[in-house]
Amino acid sequence: MGQILHKRARTTEVIRKEIQKAEGSIMTLAKRFNVNPKTIAKWKKRRNTGDAPMGNGRVNSVLTEEEEKIICEIRKKTWFSLDDLFDLLKPKISKLSRSNLHRCLHYYGLSRVPEEIKKEKKEKGKFKTYEIGFLHIDITDFYLQKKKCSPFVAIDRISKLLHCPTL
């Protein structure tokens, strides 16, 4: 059975063993094996020739588990766009940035709106036109560690200004 490599792999386990056994400078070996000098240095340092697991990228997350659960639950209940969700949550989660919000949603599989939700939204149609200042107030319920949270959301229909005072 052959070795499974990712698309951009330039070395196999056989070549990695040769690199580890080879004598000479890093530059000469890089030219000989037609790889980057950093690749030579990396395989010279390692004891084995297998690819190290890259992990899921969640080790260094600045968000706590509770904050991530809040983000996921609000996303599932509202399906707001990334920018609207960021505007809603930024005052409540001080460490939140647009990029770590996106990474959190991507990790939990919520970065894209499901097709059935898109179809539902299209079928509902548009709201009536209102003057600036008309607020639509809504509530949603979700649970965090057996504690019920019920945030109120107020949305100005014209300016799309969003306010969520209780999180």
- The pTM of this model reads 0.47
pLDDT of residue 58: 62
Q: Which of 89, 86, 70 is nearest to 143 (CA)?
A: 70
Q: Where are the domains of the chain?
A: 13-45, 65-163
Q: 81-127 pLDDT, tens per residue?
A: 899 899 989 988 989 999 999 989 998 999 888 888 777 766 656 66
Cα dihedral 105, 70, 132, 135 sign: positive
Cα 143 from Cα 106, distance rounded (Å): 21
Phi and psi at residue 72, in whole multiples of 5°? -65, -45
pLDDT at 59: 60
